[in-house]
């Protein structure tokens, strides 16, 4: 009897190990343990046996049944694992897909332009200085050769703050700086010459229209030593606009102009054409110039300014220049309305903004790809 059971066990075990997919294995299970299965059928014969035989055979059959059930389970998990391994080996995960575009932020044109200006002037050896937005009368006007009551102060109306009771003399009157030229004074007072700096910052005037907002950004430049002259000023600024607008032969002109803190003073224009309807920067192909666009103020630093910073004008000399950053961005990137810079409209930023990973550098000609 136990031999029969042993043979049956071997037979069924072979069937189980031979089943090499889950479907076949389940079929084996039904033929053995199902309602009409072989072991089930044997179980049913127990009822007809006498008590003694039923006991020994019943026990043996139960052991067999459990052993077979275990074997099936083991085979089943082996088959499932095999199936998963095959699936994993055949499925590939493409991790080379680029991230979704709409999740990307953009660099504001003002920040972008500041980066580009920094790159160009850093390449010429200028370092970056800083000064406060809240200035006083001395730094914003007097030290820059706008004495109290000077009519040139009228050109730069600004916002005044309550007087600083603890300050002395011309430091009492607090105001929002009208230009970054105040940083020239602060830098020259705090540092030893030679000076070769640029400075970026917010500036304020009480104006508001398509090309003026009460707050805007400026960049200042200052170079002071014993030999720097007007020729250096012209060369430096011509190189700068050529690098910034990426036009190697961009024509410039200097027109005499008045700023109290420079002598002589000038405005620099770049060649442009309005014939095509829009604005095109640069001269015509034959070298002729249709029109000029004013882009910055400049000049040789006035002796009175050098004196107010403790420098002897007989010994030191140099140039300064200042420009509006929005204006540079509008010209380079074709942005028509200054006011839109500050509306915080995400659609505007998506259109005029820049890819964060696209950093400017002079090696690639500060060429920027529009995002």
Whole-angstrom distance, CA of residue 197 vs CA of residue 344: 31
20 three-state secondary structure: coil
Quick one: 131 or 353, whose CB is closer to ligand PHE? 131
Locate all alpha helices (DSSP H) within the chain, ordered by sequence: 2-18, 22-33, 38-45, 51-90, 109-123, 137-140, 182-190, 230-244, 303-308, 325-333, 346-352
Least Å distance between CB 238 and ligand PHE?
16
Quick one: 258 or 292, whose CB is closer to ligand PHE? 258
Quick one: 120 or 183, whose CB is closer to ligand PHE? 183
Helices and strands (H, E) in the chain, number of each type: 11, 10
Least Å distance between CB 248 and ligand PHE?
26
Q: Is 298 in the site for ligand PHE (CB under 6 A)?
A: yes
Q: Is 320 in the site for ligand PHE (CB under 6 A)?
A: yes
On whether the CB atoms of residues 255 and 269 are closer than 8 A, the answer is yes
On whether the CB atoms of residues 256 and 265 are closer than 8 A, the answer is yes
Q: Is 181 in the site for ligand PHE (CB under 6 A)?
A: yes
| Binding to ligand PHE, residues 261-280 (CB under 6 A) | 262
Least Å distance between CB 297 and ligand PHE?
3
- Phi then psi dihedrals of residue 343, to 5 deg: -85, -5
Quick one: 71 or 223, whose CB is closer to ligand PHE? 223
Least Å distance between CB 316 and ligand PHE?
16
Task: Specify the DSSP element, H or E, that contains 321.
Answer: strand 317-324
Which positions ≥6 away from 333 have C-beta within 8 Å? 109, 352, 370
Q: Is 297 in the site for ligand PHE (CB under 6 A)?
A: yes
Least Å distance between CB 131 and ligand PHE?
13
Q: Is 200 in the site for ligand PHE (CB under 6 A)?
A: no
Least Å distance between CB 173 and ligand PHE?
19
Burial class (CB in 10 A: 0-12, 13-18, 19+), 350: middle
Whole-angstrom distance, CA of residue 234 vs CA of residue 125: 16
Q: Tell me 364's DSSP state.
A: G
Quick one: 318 or 360, whose CB is closer to ligand PHE? 318
Q: Is 259 in the site for ligand PHE (CB under 6 A)?
A: yes
Among 299, 318, 353, 360, binds ligand PHE (CB under 6 A): 299
Q: Is 322 in the site for ligand PHE (CB under 6 A)?
A: yes
Q: Is 325 in the site for ligand PHE (CB under 6 A)?
A: no
Quick one: 320 or 325, whose CB is closer to ligand PHE? 320
Q: Return the bridge partners of 301, or none.
A: 262
Quick one: 112 or 178, whose CB is closer to ligand PHE? 178
Whole-angstrom distance, CA of residue 225 vs CA of residue 180: 20
Q: Return the bridge partners of 220, or none.
A: 199, 322
Q: How many residues bind ligand PHE (CB under 6 A)?
A: 10
Select from 68-76, 229-237, 283-291, 292-300 the region that touches ligand PHE (CB under 6 A).
Answer: 292-300
Helix pair angle (109-123, 230-244), 10° resolution: 130
Least Å distance between CB 221 and ligand PHE?
7
Positions touching ligand PHE (CB under 6 A) are 179, 181, 259, 262, 297-299, 320-322
């Amino acid at each position: 009897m136990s031999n029969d059971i042993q043979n049956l066990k071997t037979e069924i075990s072979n069937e189980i190990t031979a089943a090499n997919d889950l479907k076949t294995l389940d079929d084996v299970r039904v033929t053995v343990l199902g309602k009409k299965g072989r072991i089930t059928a044997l179980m049913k014969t127990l009822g007809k046996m006498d008590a003694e035989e039923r006991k020994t055979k019943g026990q043996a059959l139960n052991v067999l049944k459990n052993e077979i059930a275990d074997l099936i389970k083991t085979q089943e998990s082996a088959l499932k694992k095999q199936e998963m391994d095959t699936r994993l080996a055949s499925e590939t995960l493409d991790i080379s897909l680029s991230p979704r575009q709409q999740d990307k932020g953009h660099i504001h044109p003002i920040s972008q332009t500041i980066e580009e200006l920094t790159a160009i002037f850093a390449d010429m050896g200028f370092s970056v200085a800083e000064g406060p937005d809240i200035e006083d009368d001395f730094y914003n006007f007097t030290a820059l050769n706008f004495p109290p009551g000077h009519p040139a102060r009228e050109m730069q109306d600004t916002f005044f703050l309550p007087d600083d009771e603890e300050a002395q003399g011309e430091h009492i009157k607090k105001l929002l700086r009208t230009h970054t030229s105040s940083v020239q004074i602060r830098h020259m007072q705090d540092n030893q010459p030679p000076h070769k700096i640029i400075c970026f910052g917010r500036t304020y005037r009480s104006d508001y229209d398509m090309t003026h907002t009460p707050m805007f950004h400026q960049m200042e430049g200052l170079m002071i030593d014993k030999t720097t002259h007007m020729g250096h000023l012209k060369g430096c600024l011509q190189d700068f606009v050529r690098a910034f607008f990426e036009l190697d032969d961009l024509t410039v002109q200097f027109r005499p102009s008045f700023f109290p803190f420079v002598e002589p003073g000038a405005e620099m224009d770049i060649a442009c054409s309005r014939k095509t309807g829009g604005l095109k920067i640069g001269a015509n192909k034959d070298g002729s110039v249709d029109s000029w666009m004013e882009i910055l103020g400049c000049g040789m630093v006035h002796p009175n300014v050098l004196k107010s910073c403790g420098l002897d004008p007989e010994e030191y000399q140099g140039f300064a220049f200042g420009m509006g950053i929005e204006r540079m961005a509008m010209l380079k990137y074709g942005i028509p309305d200054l006011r839109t810079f500050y509306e915080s409209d995400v659609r505007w930023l998506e259109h005029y903004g820049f890819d964060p990973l696209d950093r400017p550098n002079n090696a690639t000609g500060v060429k920027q790809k529009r995002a």
